[in-house]
Amino acid sequence: MAHRMRRRDFLRNSMMVGASALAGNCGGSSRWQAGAFRKAGSSRVAILKAASYEDDLTQLVLDGIKVCGLSVAGKTVLLKPNLVEYERDTVINTHPAVVGAALEAFLRLGAKQVRVGEGPGHRRDTDGLLVASGFLPYLRDTRSPFIDLNLDDIRKVPLLSRFMGIDSLYFPESVLSADLLVSMPKIKTHHWAGMTLSMKNFFGIVPGVKYGWPKNFLHWHGIHESIVDINSTVHPHFVIADGIVGMEGNGPIQGKPRACGVVILGEDPVAVDSTCVRVAGLNPEKIDYLRIAGEFLGNLQENRIKQIGEAISQVRCPFEVIGGFEHLKT
Amino acid sequence: MASRRTEVGNLKSQILQDFLAKTQNPDGGWGYSPGKRSALEPTAYALMGLRHAAGAEQILAMATQFISSNQSIDGGWPVSVTDPGAASWATPLVGVALLSGAGESAQAQAALQSVFSAFNRMPKSWVNRIGGWLGYRSSNVNTDLGGWSWNPGTAIWVEPTCYAILFLKKATLDRQDQSVSRIISEAESMVYDRMCKSGGWNYGNAEVLGEELRPYPLTTTLALIALQDRSLRSENQKSLAYLKQAVSSEKSLLSLCFAGLCLDVYVQGWQNVWNQLDEFYRKISFLEDIKTTALMLITLDAREGNNPFRLKAERR
């Protein structure tokens, strides 16, 4: 056991050294195309309370879309939940009730088409995942197509930032052709990235048919680096984060449920993710990919985020973190 | 029994005429779902599923032509026509499909060379190298054992390795090839090394950060099929026991089909799988998943003694 801890510490320390080097090198625009990114002066993020998955979540999503000023009518919408594994009594996936509510809400607002797409990172039996995790009835009831993003037609796209050390990645056509990409993460801790939220959720748009299962190609090029490069190139237009029950501890799969009773929405993924981290009682500036994204993709700092709905202090819900991530609490 | 045979006959006919015939692309291949561009994996499964189908001659001829015209100069196939070029992890699957038919031995032979040359060992980062030099083992798996990766030059995993093992075994069944036998043996060791403690396999990690990970039925079936000529080994028996238990709560038609094919290969009863196929198919057919539907056809066919994943003579 003692040996295992030393090994783990060694790996973590090695990663921290790599991450520090990365952060130290990203101050200039050499890692991204100067002028290609325009951060808004401020970003709106809505924190809306929901006590349980039995609440009227469709109304909640409608309210969130309205207060964030998102235009939906006539658009093709792709909802991207976080669908990883199914194990009974766990909170690994975005709850199907939240995805069902978003389906209903976008249809009511006059979207031309609403589809659900996901490319699970570990499993190829997506049909079973849809059945077991409870998504299937929502898809059938709303006659909404499901796209397995691992198996979609793919297109090579030049990356707009260069943290991974590669020039391009393949992405699914269904993602590239959607007018409105909605990232729908579950608010969870992550034993490599710190926390997994709307930006990390976009690992699921990287096609398994090209990069395999698990998507180790991304880990190989650095988790933080991959998150930034993916989101600089194909970013969510809207985020609906499921924090009604999140996951703390050894996430994203083996952690414990943490009831927070919130759904967090907004157009700026960096601002929404930072808010989720603050609600979890952690410091977003200590999460490498968020700190880097805050430099050019969106607003990280609290004074640049216009909070709507609940104040963070009213819904703060401190998450447990595993050893090696205590620094996120400061 | 007779009525069940009629039901199966009707279902096969429905899959063939109402789905596979209608979803075949003009180039002869199939995408993963209707309207998508042709990809090699669903096309390989469709080819295997249609081998014994009455009235499928024209469809098969087009599919065979698609396979021929997309084989690259190195003998391999890309994952899809949207990513033309180098050989991919789909190559051994196409090879298995070719070997389950007849008369494409030259293509399969070229594919064998491609798969053989894609065998590799885990690339190691400088952190791992320094760690190894300092005596740290950064992984719970033996990273010195070789196998096959999803993407050239990246880590090796259970599923692509199992496709390659199965194809190489099928391609060299009737002859001795020392160099092929050597890499098969090493790759088998790699697969056994990645087995979960309770038996069975997931994508290839039995443990992460000290936490035991659970196996998946689908990857377990693929590993067991690839290791079918080692059926008496305790690891195979343990994993077979896991699979039989896991099938009872399975929710995926894809996994259920492979479970049936795997149990058939191991000459185990699979009536419970067989009984659930129609119901599962009806439940998920609206997803219009071509690969899984083709596998359904293969599984129905296996009940009649035609299992393309069996190493020995197919018809019992």
How far does CA A37 lie from the centroid of its chain?
A: 20
Check residue B155 and report its DSSP letter: -
* Residue numbers in B near A10 (CB within 8 A): 131, 136, 138
Which residue carries 């003579």 as its tokens? B313
> Which stretches of chain B drop beneath a pLDDT of 70?
1-2, 102-104, 123-139, 313-316
Give A204 to chain B, closest Cα distance, Å.
16
Rounded to whole angstroms, how far apart are CA atoms A205 and A223?
A: 14
**Residue in A with minimal Cα distance to B204:** A214
In a domain, A30, yes or no: no
- Residue A307 CB: number of other CB atoms within 10 A? 18
Rounded to whole angstroms, how far apart are CA atoms B43 and B24?
A: 9
- Residue A130 CB: number of other CB atoms within 10 A? 27
State which amino acid sits at residue A222: G
Residue A23 pLDDT more than 60? no
In a domain, A86, yes or no: yes
State which amino acid sits at residue A118: E
State the pLDDT at residue B131: 65
Give B85 to chain A, closest Cα distance, Å.
12
Check residue A9 and report its DSSP letter: H
Q: Do A125 and B160 touch (CB under 8 A)?
A: no
* Residue numbers in A near B45 (CB within 8 A): none
The half-sphere exposure of B176 on its side-chain side, counting CA atoms within 13 A, is 1
* Residue numbers in A near B33 (CB within 8 A): 148, 151
Where do the H-state alpha helices sit in A155-268? 173-176, 208-211, 216-220, 223-233
In a domain, A24, yes or no: no
Burial letters B150-175, b for 16+ CB under 10 A, else e:
bbeebbbbbbbbbbbbbbbbbbeeee
Q: Under 8 Å CB-to-CB from B103, ≥6 apart: which residues?
A: none
pLDDT (tens digit per residue) in A297-315: 999 999 999 999 999 999 9
Q: Do B159 and A213 touch (CB under 8 A)?
A: yes
Residue A250 pLDDT more than 70? yes
- Please name the residues between 5 and 34 in chain A that touch chain B, using a CB distance below 8 Å: 6-8, 10-11, 14, 18
State the pLDDT at residue A29: 57
State the pLDDT at residue B266: 97
What values do phi and psi take at A146, rounded to 5?
-110, 130
State the pLDDT at residue B102: 62
Tokens found for residue B41? 């994996």
In a domain, A65, yes or no: yes
Residue A13 pLDDT more than 50? no
Q: Under 8 Å CB-to-CB from A69, ≥6 apart: which residues?
A: A44, A267
Give A174 to chain B, closest Cα distance, Å.
11
Q: Are B114 and B75 in contact (CB under 8 A)?
A: yes
In a domain, A180, yes or no: yes
Q: Is the dihedral of CA B262, B267, B268, B269 positive or negative?
A: positive
A-interface mutation test, from B45, B82, B88, B89, most A Cβ less than 10 A away: B82
**A203 or A88: which carries more pLDDT confidence?**
A203
**Mean pLDDT to the nearest integer, A2-30:** 45
In a domain, A7, yes or no: no
pLDDT (tens digit per residue) in B206-235: 987 788 889 999 999 999 999 999 999 999
Question: Checking phi first, is residue B169 left (phi over 0); if not, alpha (psi -120 to 50) or beta?
Answer: alpha
Give A102 to chain B, closest Cα distance, Å.
20
Q: Do A209 and B151 touch (CB under 8 A)?
A: no
State the pLDDT at residue B133: 65
A-interface mutation test, from B27, B216, B251, B280, most A Cβ less than 10 A away: B251
Rounded to whole angstroms, how far apart are CA atoms A148 and A162?
A: 27
Residue A289 sits in a domain whose CATH number is 3.40.50.11440
**A24 or A76: which carries more pLDDT confidence?**
A76
State the pLDDT at residue B134: 66
Residue A293 pLDDT more than 50? yes
Judge whether A249 is closer than 8 Å to chain B, CB to CB.
no
- Residue B287 CB: number of other CB atoms within 10 A? 20
**Residue in B with minimal Cα distance to A127:** B252
* Residue numbers in A near B31 (CB within 8 A): 153
Strand partners, A81: A184
Give A78 to chain B, closest Cα distance, Å.
16
State the pLDDT at residue B257: 97
Q: Do B83 and A154 touch (CB under 8 A)?
A: yes
Q: Do A209 and B80 touch (CB under 8 A)?
A: yes
Q: Do A14 and B131 touch (CB under 8 A)?
A: yes
State which amino acid sits at residue B115: V
Rounded to whole angstroms, how far apart are CA atoms B218 and B239?
A: 12
Q: Under 8 Å CB-to-CB from A142, ≥6 apart: which residues?
A: A100, A103, A104, A107, A114
In a domain, A139, yes or no: yes
**Residue in B with minimal Cα distance to A4:** B210
Question: Checking phi first, is residue A79 left (phi over 0); if not, alpha (psi -120 to 50) or beta?
Answer: beta
User: What's the Cα-to-Cα distance from A44 to each of A227, B261, B276, rounded to whole Å?
Assistant: 22, 53, 50
**Percent of residues, chain A, with pLDDT higher than 70:** 91
Rounded to whole angstroms, how far apart are CA atoms B170 and B273?
A: 26
**Mean pLDDT to the nearest integer, A201-219:** 94
State which amino acid sits at residue A325: F
* Residue numbers in A near B149 (CB within 8 A): 212
In a domain, A8, yes or no: no
Residue (of B257, B269, B220) closest to B15 by Cα position? B257
Check residue B20 and report its DSSP letter: I
User: Which domain covers residue A73, as residue numbers?
Assistant: 37-329
**A89 or B270: which carries more pLDDT confidence?**
B270
Q: Do A86 and B36 touch (CB under 8 A)?
A: no
The structural domain count of chain A equals 1
State the pLDDT at residue B203: 94
